[in-house]
């Protein structure tokens, strides 16, 4: 549910109210002393016609400001005498130009588009080029202009350029902003209607919006240049209408489709509105329903609704939003259907949901049951939400402020403000943020700009986008009407007012607190606008009283108490001894079985029968897999299963079971139906969680992972047995063959304080046996790649043939000097050997007597495994260390519920997630939801949605006769394929993953494919695996275009939305109760969140941090913040502290080198994770480099270190304290062993989970 | 909606101590069999809970009878297995409750004219499911049952059979929802029994004509105008007359979705 989803309405007093879908109370929209006639809204953008018949714009709910980066390149040419100079050749580009040199971009002529914008700082030089630092003047050099620029000046460099950048910010956020009138005298041609739409225009570039308006003269005006980055657009242009068409109302649908209603009750529509012709081509008339005169229309995506003068409601069937621009029928629909109910006005919102105002009661109704399949819905439901007791609805205050509508002088403003402060207690604190505006809140102009303005005469006021200069002549007397795109009245405080509409802290989300100030008062509504209202029809908002529960009152009734009392006393017969009564229905184990297929590694299936047995009292369970003839294939002890998650492919509902003790890879099972798969998954997760004793909330220090199918897994490091301050683990050694050698991992290595204890008996025939405490395997590249152990810190070799015990160490593959001792044991005897690691020495006990000491020659922390080999039997092997020992085969990964792309945690238990559509979620502490049903309780389980895009490529080859056709060469790729061309994909056969997914769009051509496209979406190349470009060249023989279709999943999980800003990366670091949260937005900006604590995990709001380049990744720890730029460069943030969470500047960090042998090329980064003393950086070549000694005093660290023990490639890395986890390119989850303060790189990787992992966060790990 | 979990749980957990004794004429051994004491869920049916008891007595009876169908009587009154156990107790011992409930076990002389045969548990399931369906027809014109899948039906039955409250209520909850705009069922599935075990079933609407909730008292007045001080017993308790019928149906129905009320 989008937290910005609001239903707007105007009451009969002309006041605007908003009802959030997440709340149940109408709240009055900020009152300006100005009534509103009509509204039109899409999420975040609200256009309105005021009581003064002028148009106003309100931008709200955006958590980060609208910022536009202005760029200008300063070009210079080397002249023989003067050196580099701004005098260029006549054929050259402008002195200040755009990137390609075609446009003049003199920086003194780049001005703010309107008073609604403010500059952020002055013009600055960009001092990096592709991540490479430039000199102080920021020049980059080239031979001639259209050439590759480089950072260094060479003898042949004839031209140079540098880039100036300056940001401007839309400062009129969260306040009404007047749009300039058409004429100098605003009363000359006032407006009567305005409508915004076009936010889902097919194929259009993101951010496109379309605004149409009607003037009192009946002229139709289109606002050019409106987009999400330019909310107020540029200017009005007139769209001519057919003669005798006096337009009364206009409605723009989300696809940009325009319908206009005439005073005569007829409807005309604008045909041919596409992404290229936003204003359309011509008007068409649509026949009104028989003998009905329409008075209100509203356009949705696939629907149009209307109300006629006799209050009947009409639905227009046959409208297809996606084709509306190309097909007349799709735009006009095919016929009217009468809908029951009597309404006076109707408004279509997101997903074609319909709201209307009733004829008799003037209440707002929602049409329930509207789905894409059934656009007419089922019935009208009245919205009965509580109402804010209006502070301005008394007629007195209306009069007092209404007189000032057009001229809010500064003095009257302060008066009205104090007047309002008097009843602040009743209402919300957001008034407090209003103080009288003072002069300096007006955009401050640099002297240079005002000079240029003085020179410039006022332009034609009709093209109002640039005419704000007029107001500068007398800034004190500015009027909201005259000042184009300016801020009206007291709301001219963009900075202090941000809380008003902040989705998390502001007025819309504290219903409980303020219930007292609300009442149900009967309001009669005049107008409803649903364009920004997104109703989840599965979970309608709590607006309707016709479903409220009457039984809550029954709890305390006499009869109910009496019934309960009597029920409880039924068997309370004193002389009845129930002890010897058996239970009729015993708690016995239960079984469940079904037919399924076992999926082999080569993806082929094998019929099998699954049978699950589970005994909940004894807490044991088995999963037996039978062959169809009933013979047992294998039986799994469910206690050994470390993870269960879904691994479905379209049409193949599968689950994966990880059983590391039995199987190297995971066991994949395919079920006959999705239902069956979900049931088994839920049951298996439930049982394995019970066996492992984990339930409910994930603990703070647990590790989170996300699988490639979006499941969220969690591992809780429950402490194992604790003995005398040490953690002990017994290895299963009995019956293992020692003769050929037995080795096992020592998960915590062997630091001082560790002990290993062996008991066993020797064979009668024995010459030698040894115990090795050895280091990790190291890859060696000789004639072929092989691994070997090069370091053995302790070798204990008992040689009966030499009558001695030899102790030694191997360092870099060569043995040191031997230390020999007498034999302590004889063949055929039982023995016990105990090795204790002290700071200086190993102490070896044989048969409980101190036998010898062995001084460390290598750091014992590098010991990762133990090997015993010789003719003997082992009874027990016990390993204890000072910290918790958990092997990979004991980590139970519990599915937590929800559908996400990545999850980031921190040490105090605050966990954030990002979904595939870049929305942000916060963990609520629950468990279950979705296909897991309510595993724990329903607490904290919320509905979730996520959107993913399916892409396929259409490929064509050119042949001389017929041009481009879909017949390729026999060697070519499929004509419909995936991006690699290796797999055939067709639009018709693209299936959704499960029934929780549904399509939310049709197949559409992607006009934003990287590399550029032509007007039909094609991109060309010389041959298939070649770089594609958007312009057809002579040499091109093949072309392709990308089709995409969006699908949405509806599920549930223990997650709740936080904020509405789309993010690509996020980093959390906990500092006691507080959490510092840094994130990277979809646009590549860095932001940080204020007010995140364990009590308020969603925090308050995002604060924006300026960054010179767009970023892709961020990490933070200990007030150190690192970020990665789009080109792979790494930055750190200066001066970050608790008092100054945003820091001051980004500084470049020396790039790491490619760690391929003998290469010293520096290489970019893809991701970063910081812990207390180092930074783990994922490089562009998918290797990992570690920057050591990163600390507060040395924010950029000391040196780069590279991993020498492996050539694995990685997708992601996450670290905290000594815990480092990474996801391998093949999807396996790895944990780094041996990371210590001294050895920051660690010693080796240990595989924890096999396959299908996409993301991991160990940021919650903690030593305590 | 049935949302008073405390009451639901109490109803579900209701158990009867029963003492089974083998009928004297069945005993073929010199040694007298011990009585079999067991706690039986009130909501269950005898064929579902008597397996162990049957095994206990089998070795005391003659071999030729070991395959014949077992039946129970209380004070010479054969007990119909297709009624919930708790209801049978309320019917026969409701007025003078004596615990444990002493029942006699027979393997011969099956009273063909009184009891239905019950060869296996599938018969119980079939009977149970048809009763649930009947109740749903009364409540929702059968719409809920018909939209459920086979596995839901299965879960309902297994929940009852294995005494799993959550498993059962996960499905039964849907049967206890009221549909449409007006709160409440179409009709209340209710069966009323007089002392002699004769069942009366009437169409009962949960609301009065003025839209208020109909209480038990109001229903009694409607159905038995001559006996206004009638008491109704179910689950071992007498229901307060002011209890609303809708609530009663949602919370105090047996798993077959019927209210089984004994007049007393």
Which residues touch B17 (CB under 8 Å, ≥6 apart)? A571, A576, A578, A581, B37, B38, B39, B40, B99, B100, B101
Q: Is B44 on the interface with A (CB under 8 A)?
A: yes
d(CA A1037, CA A1022): 5
Residues facing A16 on adjacent strands: A10
In degrees rounded to 5, what are phi and psi of residue A450?
-65, -30
Closest CA to B132 of B175, B161, B174: B175
- B162 and A584 within 8 Å at the Cβ level: the answer is no
Q: B14, B178, B247, B255: which to substitute to probe chain A, counting the most A Cβ within 10 Å?
A: B247
Residue in the block written with tokens 């380049």: A1109
Tell me which chain B residues have a C-beta less than 8 angstroms from the C-beta of A558.
240, 242
Question: Which pair of structure tokens corresponds to residue A1036?
Answer: 């091109």
How near does any CA of chain B get to the CA of A568, in Å?
Answer: 7
How near does any CA of chain B get to the CA of A614, in Å?
Answer: 14
From residue A723, how far is each of A728, A876, A877 by CA, in Å? 7, 17, 15
How near does any CA of chain B get to the CA of A585, in Å?
Answer: 6
Sign of the CA dihedral running A576, A580, A585, A586: positive
d(CA A885, CA A747): 6
- pLDDT number for residue A731: 76
**Angle, alpha carbons A9-A1-A307 (nearest 5°):** 35
A 647-686: CB under 8 A from B:
675, 679
- pLDDT number for residue A420: 37
Sign of the CA dihedral running A1222, A1225, A1227, A1233: negative
Closest CA to A954 of A982, A985, A983: A985
- Contact (CB, 8 A) for B139 and B187: yes
What HEC string does A1065-1089 produce?
EEEEEEECCEEEEEEEECCCCEEEE
Question: Which pair of structure tokens corresponds to residue B174?
Answer: 């849907």
DSSP state letter for A647: -
Tell me which chain A residues have a C-beta less than 8 angstroms from the C-beta of B236.
566-567, 570
Q: Is B99 on the interface with A (CB under 8 A)?
A: yes
Burial class (CB in 10 A: 0-12, 13-18, 19+), B76: exposed
Phi-psi bin for A147: left (phi > 0), alpha (psi -120 to 50), beta? beta
For the entire predicted model, the pTM comes to 0.62
What HEC string does A843-901 produce?
EEEECCEEEEEEECCCCHHHCCEEEEECCEEEEEEEEEECCCCCCHHHCCEEECCCCCC
Q: Is A566 on the interface with B (CB under 8 A)?
A: yes
Residues facing A335 on adjacent strands: A317
d(CA A980, CA A995): 28
- pLDDT number for residue A41: 92
Tell me which chain A residues have a C-beta less than 8 angstroms from the C-beta of B99.
571, 573, 576
Tell me which chain B residues have a C-beta less than 8 angstroms from the C-beta of A555.
4
d(CA A1217, CA B217): 70
Which residue in B has a C-alpha nearest to residue A587's C-alpha?
Answer: B162
How near does any CA of chain A get to the CA of B194, in Å?
Answer: 22
d(CA B106, CA B21): 9
Closest CA to A3 of A27, A28, A26, A20: A20
Q: Is B212 on the interface with A (CB under 8 A)?
A: no
Residue in the block written with tokens 């064929």: B47
- A563 and B40 within 8 Å at the Cβ level: the answer is no
Q: Is the confidence at residue B58, as pLDDT, over 70?
A: yes
d(CA A822, CA A561): 84
Please state whether beta strands A830-837 and A819-822 pair in parallel, antiparallel, or not at all (unpaired).
Answer: unpaired
**What own/partner pairs with CB < 8 Å and gap ≥ 24 does B116-124 have?**
B116/B80, B116/B81, B116/B82, B117/B69, B118/B47, B118/B69, B118/B81, B118/B82, B119/B69, B121/B47, B121/B48, B121/B161, B123/B47, B124/B45, B124/B47, B124/B48, B124/B81, B124/B82
Please state whether beta strands A1055-1057 and A117-125 pair in parallel, antiparallel, or not at all (unpaired).
Answer: unpaired
Question: Which pair of structure tokens corresponds to residue A940?
Answer: 């904290």
- Contact (CB, 8 A) for A325 and A256: yes
d(CA A17, CA A29): 5
From residue A412, how far is each of A175, A418, A473, A474, A916 by CA, in Å? 18, 10, 22, 18, 50
SS3 B147: helix
Which residue in B has a C-alpha nearest to residue A575's C-alpha?
Answer: B99
SS3 A1121: strand
- pLDDT number for residue A210: 92
Counting every residue written for chain A, the total comes to 1264
Which residues touch B172 (CB under 8 Å, ≥6 apart)? B2, B156, B159, B255, B257
- Contact (CB, 8 A) for B211 and A527: no
Tell me which chain B residues have a C-beta less than 8 angstroms from the C-beta of A559.
239-240, 242-243
- B39 and A590 within 8 Å at the Cβ level: the answer is no
Which residue stretches of chain A have pLDDT < 70? 1-4, 30-32, 131, 388-522, 538-539, 545-554, 572-580, 583-590, 616-619, 718-726, 779-786, 884-885, 933-938, 1154-1160, 1205, 1263-1264
SS3 A593: strand
- pLDDT number for residue A728: 75
Q: What is the value of ipTM here, to two decimals?
A: 0.88
Question: Which pair of structure tokens corresponds to residue A556?
Answer: 């305390």
Reported as a single tens digit per residue, the pLDDT across A1238-1255 is: 788 887 888 888 778 899
Phi-psi bin for A362: left (phi > 0), alpha (psi -120 to 50), beta? left
- B162 and A568 within 8 Å at the Cβ level: the answer is no
Q: How many CB atoms lie within 10 A of CB A1027?
A: 8
Q: Is A568 on the interface with B (CB under 8 A)?
A: yes
- A580 and B37 within 8 Å at the Cβ level: the answer is yes
Interface size, chain A vs chain B, as Cβ–Cβ contacts under 8 Å: 90
Closest CA to B5 of A224, A564, A933, A664: A564
Q: Is A575 on the interface with B (CB under 8 A)?
A: no
Q: Determine if the peptide bond prior to B100 is cis (ω within 30°).
A: yes
Q: Is A617 on the interface with B (CB under 8 A)?
A: no
Sign of the CA dihedral running A689, A693, A694, A696: positive
Reported as a single tens digit per residue, the pLDDT across B91-132 is: 888 777 777 888 898 888 888 888 888 888 889 999 999 999
Reported as a single tens digit per residue, the pLDDT across B63-77 is: 887 788 888 888 888
Reported as a single tens digit per residue, the pLDDT across B17-54 is: 888 888 888 887 778 888 888 888 889 998 888 888 88
In chain A, count of helices (H) and strands (E)?
8, 89
Which residues touch B158 (CB under 8 Å, ≥6 apart)? B164, B167
Q: Is B261 on the interface with A (CB under 8 A)?
A: no
Q: In A1083-1228, which ranges are E strands? A: 1086-1089, 1102-1105, 1111-1117, 1120-1125, 1130-1133, 1146-1149, 1165-1170, 1175-1179, 1184-1187, 1200-1202, 1210-1216, 1219-1224
- B247 and A584 within 8 Å at the Cβ level: the answer is no
Q: Is A1158 on the interface with B (CB under 8 A)?
A: no
How near does any CA of chain A get to the CA of B26, in Å?
Answer: 23
Q: Is A829 on the interface with B (CB under 8 A)?
A: no
- A567 and B237 within 8 Å at the Cβ level: the answer is yes
Q: Is A1082 on the interface with B (CB under 8 A)?
A: no
> Smallest Cβ distance to B181: which of A546, A554, A679?
A546
**Angle, alpha carbons A1196-A1198-A1204 (nearest 5°):** 115
Q: B1, B2, B10: which to substitute to probe chain A, counting the most A Cβ within 10 Å?
A: B10
d(CA B88, CA A142): 100
């Amino acid at each position: 549910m989008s937290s910005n989803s609001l239903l707007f309405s105007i009451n009969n007093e002309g006041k605007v109210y908003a009802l959030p879908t997440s709340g149940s109370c109408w709240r009055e929209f900020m009152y300006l002393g100005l009534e509103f006639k009509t509204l039109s809204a899409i999420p975040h953008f609200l256009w309105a016609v005021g009581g003064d018949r002028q148009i106003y714009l309100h931008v709200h709910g955006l958590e980060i400001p609208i910022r536009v980066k202005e760029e200008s390149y300063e070009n210079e040419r080397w002249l023989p005498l003067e050196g580099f100079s701004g005098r260029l050749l006549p054929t050259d580009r402008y002195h200040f130009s755009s990137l390609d040199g075609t446009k003049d971009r003199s920086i003194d002529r780049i001005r703010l588009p309107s008073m609604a914008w403010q500059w952020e700082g002055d013009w600055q030089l960009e001092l990096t080029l592709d991540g490479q630092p430039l000199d102080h003047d920021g020049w980059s050099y080239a031979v001639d202009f259209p050439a590759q620029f480089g950072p260094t000046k060479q003898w042949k460099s004839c031209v140079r350029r540098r880039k100036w950048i300056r940001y401007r910010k839309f400062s009129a956020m969260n306040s009404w902003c007047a749009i300039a009138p058409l004429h100098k005298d605003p009363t000359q041609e006032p407006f009567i209607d305005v409508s915004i739409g076009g936010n889902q225009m097919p194929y259009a570039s993101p951010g496109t919006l379309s605004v149409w308006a009607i003037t009192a003269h009946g002229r139709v005006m289109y606002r050019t240049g409106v987009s999400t980055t330019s909310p107020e657009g540029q200017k009005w242009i007139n769209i001519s209408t057919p003669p005798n068409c006096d337009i009364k109302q206009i409605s723009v649908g989300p696809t940009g489709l325009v319908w206009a209603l005439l005073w005569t009750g007829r409807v005309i529509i604008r045909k041919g509105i596409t992404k290229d012709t936003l204003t359309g081509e011509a008007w068409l008339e649509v026949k009104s329903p028989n003998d009905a005169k329409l008075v209100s229309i509203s356009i949705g995506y696939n629907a149009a609704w209307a109300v006629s003068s006799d209050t009947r409601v009409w639905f227009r069937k046959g409208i297809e939003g996606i084709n509306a621009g190309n097909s007349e029928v799709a735009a006009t629909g095919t016929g009217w259907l009468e809908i029951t109910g009597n309404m006076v006005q109707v408004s279509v919102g997101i997903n074609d949901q319909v709201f209307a105002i009733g004829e008799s009661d003037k209440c707002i109704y929602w049409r329930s049951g509207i789905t894409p399949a059934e656009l007419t819905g089922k019935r009208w439901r009245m919205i009965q939400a509580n109402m804010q007791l209006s502070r301005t609805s008394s007629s007195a205050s209306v009069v007092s402020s209404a007189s000032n509508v057009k001229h809010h002088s500064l003095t009257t403003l302060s008066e009205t403000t104090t007047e309002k402060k008097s009843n602040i207690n009743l209402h919300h604190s957001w008034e407090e943020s209003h103080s009288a505006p003072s002069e300096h809140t007006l955009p401050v102009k640099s002297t240079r700009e005002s000079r240029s303005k003085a020179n410039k005469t006022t332009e034609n006021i009709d093209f109002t986008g640039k005419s704000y200069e007029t107001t500068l002549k007398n800034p004190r007397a500015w009027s909201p009407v005259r000042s184009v795109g300016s801020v009206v009245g007291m709301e001219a405080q963009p900075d202090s007012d941000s809380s008003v509409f902040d989705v998390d802290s502001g007025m819309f989300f504290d219903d409980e607190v303020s219930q007292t100030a609300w009442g149900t008062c009967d309001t009669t509504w005049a107008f409803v606008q649903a364009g920004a209202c997104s109703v989840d029809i599965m979970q309608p908002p709590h607006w309707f009283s016709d479903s409220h529960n009457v039984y809550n009152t029954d709890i305390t009734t006499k009869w109910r108490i009496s019934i309960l009392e009597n029920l409880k006393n039924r068997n309370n017969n004193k002389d009845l001894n129930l002890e010897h009564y058996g239970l009729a229905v015993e708690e016995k184990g239960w079984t469940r079985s079904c037919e399924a297929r076992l999926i082999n590694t080569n993806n082929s299936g094998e019929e099998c029968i699954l049978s699950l047995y589970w005994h909940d009292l004894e807490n044991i369970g088995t999963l037996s897999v039978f062959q169809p003839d009933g013979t047992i294939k294998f039986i799994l002890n469910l206690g050994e299963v470390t993870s269960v998650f879904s691994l479905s492919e379209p049409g193949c509902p599968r689950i994966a079971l990880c059983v590391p003790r039995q199987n190297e890879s995971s066991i994949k099972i395919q079920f006959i139906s999705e239902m069956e798969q979900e049931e088994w998954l839920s049951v298996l997760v439930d049982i394995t969680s019970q066996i492992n004793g984990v339930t409910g909330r994930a603990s703070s220090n647990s590790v989170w992972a996300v699988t490639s199918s979006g499941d969220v897994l969690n591992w809780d490091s429950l402490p194992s047995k604790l003995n005398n301050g040490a953690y002990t683990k017994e290895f299963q050694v009995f019956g293992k063959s020692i003769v050929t050698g037995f080795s096992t991992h020592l998960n915590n290595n062997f630091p001082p304080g560790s002990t290993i204890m062996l008991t066993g008996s020797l064979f009668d025939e024995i010459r030698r046996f040894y115990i090795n405490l050895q280091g990790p395997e190291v890859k060696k590249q000789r004639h072929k790649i092989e691994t070997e152990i090069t370091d053995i810190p302790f070798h204990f070799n008992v040689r009966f043939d030499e009558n001695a015990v030899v102790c030694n160490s191997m360092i870099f593959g060569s043995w040191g000097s031997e230390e020999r001792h007498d034999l302590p044991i004889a063949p055929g005897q039982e023995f016990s050997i105990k090795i204790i690691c002290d700071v200086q020495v190993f102490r070896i006990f044989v048969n409980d007597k101190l036998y010898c000491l062995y001084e460390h020659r290598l750091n014992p922390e590098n010991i990762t495994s133990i090997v015993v080999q010789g003719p003997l039997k082992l009874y027990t092997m016990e390993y204890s260390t000072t910290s918790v020992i958990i092997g990979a085969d004991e980590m139970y990964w519990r599915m937590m519920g929800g559908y996400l792309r990545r999850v980031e945690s921190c040490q105090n238990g605050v966990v954030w997630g990002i979904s595939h559509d870049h929305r942000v979620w916060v963990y609520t502490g629950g468990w279950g939801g979705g296909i897991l049903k309510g595993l724990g309780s329903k607490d904290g389980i919320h509905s979730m949605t996520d959107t993913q895009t399916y892409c396929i490529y259409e490929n064509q080859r050119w042949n001389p006769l017929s041009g481009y056709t879909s017949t390729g060469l026999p060697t070519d790729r499929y004509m419909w394929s995936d991006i690699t061309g290796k797999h055939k994909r067709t639009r018709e056969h693209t299936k959704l993953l499960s029934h929780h997914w549904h399509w939310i769009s049709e197949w559409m051509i992607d006009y934003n494919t990287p590399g550029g496209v032509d007007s039909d979406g094609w991109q060309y190349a010389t041959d298939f695996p070649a770089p594609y470009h958007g312009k057809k060249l002579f040499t091109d023989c093949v072309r392709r275009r990308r089709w995409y279709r969006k699908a949405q999943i509806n599920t549930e999980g223990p997650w709740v939305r936080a904020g509405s800003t789309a993010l690509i990366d996020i980093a959390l670091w906990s500092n006691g109760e507080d959490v510092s949260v840094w994130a990277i937005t979809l646009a590549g900006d860095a932001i940080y969140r204020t007010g995140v604590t364990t009590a308020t995990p969603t925090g308050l709001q995002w604060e924006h941090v300026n960054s010179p380049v767009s970023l892709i990744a961020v990490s933070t720890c200990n007030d150190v913040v690192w970020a990665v730029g789009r080109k792979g460069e790494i930055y750190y943030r200066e001066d970050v502290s608790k008092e100054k969470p945003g820091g001051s500047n980004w500084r470049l960090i020396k790039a790491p080198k490619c760690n391929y042998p003998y290469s010293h090329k520096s290489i970019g980064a893809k991701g970063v994770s910081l812990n207390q003393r180092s930074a783990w950086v994922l490089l562009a070549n998918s290797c990992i480099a570690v920057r050591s000694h990163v600390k507060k005093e040395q924010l950029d660290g000391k040196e780069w270190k590279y991993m020498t023990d492996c050539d694995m490639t990685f997708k992601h890395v996450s670290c905290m304290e000594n815990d480092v986890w990474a996801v391998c390119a093949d999807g396996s989850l790895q944990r780094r062993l041996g990371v210590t303060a001294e050895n920051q790189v660690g010693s080796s990787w240990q595989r924890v989970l096999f396959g299908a992992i996409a993301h991991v966060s160990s940021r919650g790990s903690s030593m305590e | 909606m049935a949302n008073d979990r405390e009451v639901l749980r109490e109803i579900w957990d209701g158990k009867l101590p029963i003492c089974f004794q083998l009928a004297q004429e069945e005993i073929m051994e010199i040694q007298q069999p011990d009585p079999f004491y067991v706690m039986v869920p009130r909501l269950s049916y005898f064929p579902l809970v008597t397996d162990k008891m049957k095994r206990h007595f089998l070795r005391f009876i003659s071999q030729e009878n070991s395959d014949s169908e077992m039946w129970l009587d209380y004070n010479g009154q054969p007990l119909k297995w297709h009624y919930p156990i708790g209801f049978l107790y309320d019917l026969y011992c409701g007025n003078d409750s004596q615990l444990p409930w002493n029942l006699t076990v027979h393997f011969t002389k099956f009273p063909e004219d009184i009891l239905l045969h019950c060869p296996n548990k599938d018969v119980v399931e079939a009977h149970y499911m048809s009763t649930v369906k009947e109740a749903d027809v009364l409540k929702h014109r059968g719409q809920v049952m018909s939209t459920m899948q086979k596995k839901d039906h299965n879960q309902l039955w297994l929940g009852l059979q294995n005494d799993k409250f959550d498993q059962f209520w996960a499905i039964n909850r849907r049967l206890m929802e009221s549909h449409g705009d007006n709160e409440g069922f179409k009709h209340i599935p209710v069966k009323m029994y007089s002392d002699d075990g004769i069942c009366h079933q009437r169409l009962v609407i949960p609301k009065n004509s003025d839209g208020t909730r109909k209480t038990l008292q109001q229903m009694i007045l409607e159905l038995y105008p001559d006996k206004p001080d009638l008491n109704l017993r179910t689950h071992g308790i007498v229901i307060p007359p002011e209890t609303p019928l809708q609530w009663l149906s949602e919370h105090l129905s047996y798993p077959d979705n019927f209210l089984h009320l004994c007049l007393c």
